[in-house]
Each structure stands twice: as structure tokens, then as C-alpha cells.
């Protein structure tokens, strides 16, 4: 099995959470650093998934925040299993007011444009085909996103709701075994 870790907005495949996943899952994990441009990020992920599927690999996705939004789209498109960590459900609303943003990992800055917002709207999955393909990990004190949006959208997924926490999902490593077991089933 190959697990693709999809980082959140303004983060990196070298960020803190990605590093924890890489340390635990070792060579089974790919954590690409994706473009801040949604169209390029999705194109990179689609190419990666298609190459792995052509090699008859089992592919599982783990997406955090915006990476969770991308994971919903990709899992729905390719019929894959996905673990969503505090996923963004409506990123085109959350990011709509943002202009210049700084990357949390390397300090570089970039612009969020109207074209990016429109691309994100276009990636929205109105109706998730197979909610059993999803495990959704949420912490109620997420300071960036309202966890209730994910509960509503993914009500038939395997929901894990923890009181407290934050947007990064405190102690995510305590779920690594459960994540692997879910993706490998």
C-alpha cells in the first residue's frame, strides 16, 4: 500500500505533521510539497495516483485541512479510501478574504487569487458516493474551521470527534495505527 499525505493550505510535505507521518509510515508514505495553486496541486496528485494505480498499487489518502478537501475530491474520483484530519469543507469561503499569505513552512509568500477560489469551488463534491471510504478525525476546538461542517457533510463516514484540541489536531500520532488499519482494510 502507498499512502499519500496531502498537507494543508500554506504548508508543506516537509511540515511537522507530514514529518510525523513519514517517521511512522516510512517508505509506505509519500508526502509531496504541493503548489499553492489549486489546479497545479490537484494535477500533481492526480498524476501521482494514476501512476500508482497503473502499477496496481493500493492507494490510501490522508488529508489535513485543505488536503482533506482535496482528498474528498480525489477519493470520490478514484474510489479510494481517505482519512480526513480537520478537513476544510468550504475552503473557497474560508480563503475568500485572503490576499497575500505566508507559507508556514518556509516563510515564502504568495497570493490567493479569484481564480484559485473558483478552482476550489469547481472541486467541490456535492454528494460523496461512498462515505464508508472515509474516516474523519475532528477536534472541536479547531480555531480555523467549524468541525460541524465536516460532521454534516461526512455524517456517514467513520467519525472520530475529540473534545478540545486545535486545527493541527493535537496528538495525531496516537491515531496512526487506527489510520493504517482503516486504509488497509
On the question of pLDDT at 75 being above 90, the answer is yes
Sketch out the chain's domains with CATH numbers. 2-183 (3.40.50.1820)
Please, which pLDDT band fits residue 107 given cuts at 50, 70 and 90?
A: confident
On the question of pLDDT at 98 being above 80, the answer is no
Measured CA to CA, the distance from residue 140 to residue 163 in angstroms comes to 5
Paired residues of 110 in beta bridges:
101
**Residue 176 exposed, middle or buried by CB count within 10 Å (0-12, 13-18, 19+):** middle
Using DSSP, state whether 59 is helix, strand or coil: strand
The pLDDT value given to residue 48? 98
Q: What is the mean pLDDT of the chain?
A: 96
Exposure string over 98-132, b if 16+ CB within 10 A, otherwise e: eeeeebebeeeeeebeeebbebbeebeeeebeeee
- Closest Cα to residue 51, out of 11, 24, 78? 78
Element (H, E) at 30: strand 29-30
- Closest Cα to residue 74, out of 36, 47, 34, 112? 47
On the question of pLDDT at 132 being above 90, the answer is yes
27-71 tens-digit pLDDT: 999 999 999 999 999 999 999 999 999 999 999 999 999 999 999
**Cell numbers of 136, please?**
474523519
Residue 163's CB: how many other CB atoms inside 10 A?
7
pTM for this predicted structure? 0.96
**Residue 49 exposed, middle or buried by CB count within 10 Å (0-12, 13-18, 19+):** buried
Amino acid at each position: 500500500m502507498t499512502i499519500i499525505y496531502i498537507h494543508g493550505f500554506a504548508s508543506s510535505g516537509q511540515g511537522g505533521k507530514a514529518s510525523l507521518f513519514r517517521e511512522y509510515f516510512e517508505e509506505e508514505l509519500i508526502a509531496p510539497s504541493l503548489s499553492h495553486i489549486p489546479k497545479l496541486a490537484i494535477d500533481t496528485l492526480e498524476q501521482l495516483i494514476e501512476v500508482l494505480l497503473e502499477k496496481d498499487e493500493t492507494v490510501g489518502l490522508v488529508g489535513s485541512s485543505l488536503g482533506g478537501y482535496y482528498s474528498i475530491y480525489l477519493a470520490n474520483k478514484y474510489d479510494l479510501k481517505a482519512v480526513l484530519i480537520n478537513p476544510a469543507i468550504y475552503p473557497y469561503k474560508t480563503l475568500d478574504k485572503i490576499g497575500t499569505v505566508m507559507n508556514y513552512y518556509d516563510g515564502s509568500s504568495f497570493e490567493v487569487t479569484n481564480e484559485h477560489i473558483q478552482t476550489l469551488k469547481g472541486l467541490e463534491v456535492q454528494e460523496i458516493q461512498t462515505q464508508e471510504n472515509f474516516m474523519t478525525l475532528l477536534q472541536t476546538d479547531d480555531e480555523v474551521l467549524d468541525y460541524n461542517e465536516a460532521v454534516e457533510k461526512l455524517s456517514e463516514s467513520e467519525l472520530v470527534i475529540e473534545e478540545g484540541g486545535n486545527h493541527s489536531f493535537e496528538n495525531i500520532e496516537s491515531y496512526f495505527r487506527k489510520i493504517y488499519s482503516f486504509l488497509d482494510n
